[in-house]
């Protein structure tokens, strides 16, 4: 009798056995659920119990793109969340309805690709410095990508200063630099190499060529490319949902405008000088350890500036950024 019973019990046990949970990456969050990639497969996952906890927590959205989640596959590409795994880092902004709450835009990012263009729109170093500040503040490795090099052949003159000379200051600080053209294909292999296997936030002013670059390295994405004039008419932020674009050669790109703002909203004034790498190197010699390098006596940063050891444009942008963070006018 006992021998008969045993296999029966075992069968029943097997029938009740749950499918093994999987771990995947959230690539899109929509009302009611999210799209999760596991290996080559996509799952539409709905939360279980998570929404209730969400209301109690200080965060409004508990799941964000980039999150690694554990879920139970439920057949036909569906799944049920079990847990969000701990985040390595997160990109946040204040919740539009309650600024005390933080809204997580994306998590587990590896680097920030900052795209600027040589011309059309003209290279804007203040935006570049703001993006660098955001990247430093978020602890994301920045990669500077100078696009539309075809508009300045041989890195040739832009105004009076040759482009590569002007950008040398960033390379000297140790930032990785790429020079690309979505039109000629220059530098695209290097850009691909930089994106491979990583989760990258891509940022840059509208019209610098973010969509064109992504389409050029990953034609399947089919991102919309608009004329610069058309963009101005439409306004800057036309992308509604936040997505991670999966790259066929491995890695993801965060497709959202405004990454820069997300990185700066919690910045305190005293943190600003610390995030300017070039200033930090000389600031050890300032008389005051908390020197803002504005009008303090015996300031090593201003001395280095006068002696031509620091870049003047960087300093000008620093003052402007500090001003916008403190809400006060500096010098």
Give me the residues that bind ligand GDP (CB under 6 A), please: 147-148, 150-151, 181-183, 204, 206-212, 225-228, 231
Minimum Å distance from CB 285 to Zn ion? 8
User: SS3 of 161, please?
Assistant: strand
Instruction: Please work out, in degrees rounded to the nearest 5, the angle formed at the alpha carbon of residue 310 by the alpha carbons of 275 and 263.
Output: 20
Choose from Zn ion, ligand GDP, none: what does 206 bind? Cβ within 5-8 Å by kind. ligand GDP
The H or E element spanning position 24 is strand 22-30
Provide, rounded to whole angstroms, the least separation between the CB of residue 271 and Zn ion. Answer: 15
Task: From the list Zn ion, ligand GDP, none, pick the one residue 182 interacts with, judged by a Cβ distance below 5 to 8 Å according to partner type.
Answer: ligand GDP
10 vs 312, beta carbon nearer Zn ion: 312
293 binds, among Zn ion, ligand GDP, none (CB under 5 to 8 A by kind): Zn ion
* CB closer to ligand GDP, 66 vs 209: 209
Q: Which does 150 bind (CB under 5 to 8 A by kind): ligand GDP, Zn ion, none?
A: ligand GDP
Between helix 312-326 and helix 125-138 the angle, nearest 10°, is 60
Which residue, 73 or 204, is less far from ligand GDP as judged by CB? 204
Q: What is the smallest separation between the CB atom of 198 and ligand GDP, expressed in angstroms?
A: 20
212 binds, among Zn ion, ligand GDP, none (CB under 5 to 8 A by kind): ligand GDP
Q: Which is nearer to Zn ion, 88 or 290 (CB)?
A: 290
Residue 99 CB, nearest distance to ligand GDP (Å)?
A: 28
Positions that interact with Zn ion (CB under 5 A): 286, 291, 293, 299, 301
Closest contact distance (angstroms) between CB of 200 and ligand GDP is: 15
71 Cβ neighbours under 8 A, 6+ residues apart: 21, 22, 23, 24, 36, 43, 45, 79, 80, 81, 82
* Beta bridge partners of residue 92, listed in sequence order: 104
- Using DSSP bridges, classify how beta strands 68-75 and 22-30 pair: parallel, antiparallel or unpaired: antiparallel
Q: Of Zn ion, ligand GDP, none, which one does residue 112 interact with (CB within 5 to 8 Å by kind)? A: none
CB of 93 within 8 A of CB of 102?
yes
144 binds, among Zn ion, ligand GDP, none (CB under 5 to 8 A by kind): none
**Interstrand relation of 111-117 and 141-147 (parallel, antiparallel or unpaired):** parallel
Please report which residue ranges of 72-226 form alpha helices under DSSP H. 125-138, 163-172, 188-195, 210-217
> CB nearest ligand GDP: which residue?
209
- Whichever of 23 and 234 has its CB closer to ligand GDP, that residue is 234
Contacts of 32 (CB under 8 A, 6+ apart): 46
Task: Tell me the three state secondary structure of residue 48.
Answer: coil
Q: In the complex with ligand GDP, which residue's Cβ is closer, 138 or 216?
A: 216
Structure tokens at 68: 């690694």
């Amino acid at each position: 009798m006992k021998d008969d019973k045993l296999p029966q019990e075992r069968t029943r046990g097997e029938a009740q056995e749950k499918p093994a949970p999987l771990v995947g990456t959230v690539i899109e969050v929509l009302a009611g659920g999210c799209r999760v990639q596991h290996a080559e497969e996509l799952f539409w996952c709905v939360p279980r119990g998570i929404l209730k906890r969400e209301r109690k927590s200080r965060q409004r959205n508990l799941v964000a793109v980039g999150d690694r989640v554990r879920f139970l596959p439920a057949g036909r590409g569906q799944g049920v969340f079990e847990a969000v795994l701990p985040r390595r880092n997160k990109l946040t902004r204040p919740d539009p309805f309650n600024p005390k709450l933080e809204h997580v835009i994306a998590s587990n990012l590896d680097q920030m690709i900052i795209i600027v263009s040589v011309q059309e729109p003209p290279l804007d170093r203040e935006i570049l410095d703001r993006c660098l500040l955001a990247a430093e503040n978020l602890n994301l490795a920045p990669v500077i990508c100078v696009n539309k090099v075809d508009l300045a052949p041989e890195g040739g003159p832009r105004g009076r200063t040759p482009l590569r000379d002007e950008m040398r200051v960033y390379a000297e600080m140790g930032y990785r630099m790429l020079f690309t053209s979505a039109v000629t294909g220059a530098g695209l292999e290097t850009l691909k190499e930089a994106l491979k296997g990583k989760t990258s936030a891509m940022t840059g002013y509208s019209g610098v060529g973010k969509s064109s670059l992504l389409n050029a390295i990953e034609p399947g994405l089919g991102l919309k490319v608009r004329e610069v004039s058309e963009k101005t008419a439409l306004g800057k932020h036309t992308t509604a949902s936040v997505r991670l674009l999966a790259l066929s050669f491995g890695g993801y790109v965060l497709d959202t405008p405004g990454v820069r703002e997300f990185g700066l909203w919690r910045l305190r004034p005293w943190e600003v000088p610390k995030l300017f790498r070039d200033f930090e190197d000389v600031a050890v010699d300032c008389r005051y350890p908390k020197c803002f390098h504005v009008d303090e006596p015996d300031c090593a940063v201003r001395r280095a500036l006068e002696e031509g050891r620091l870049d003047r444009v960087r300093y000008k942008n620093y003052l402007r950024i500090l001003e916008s963070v403190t809400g006060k006018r500096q010098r």
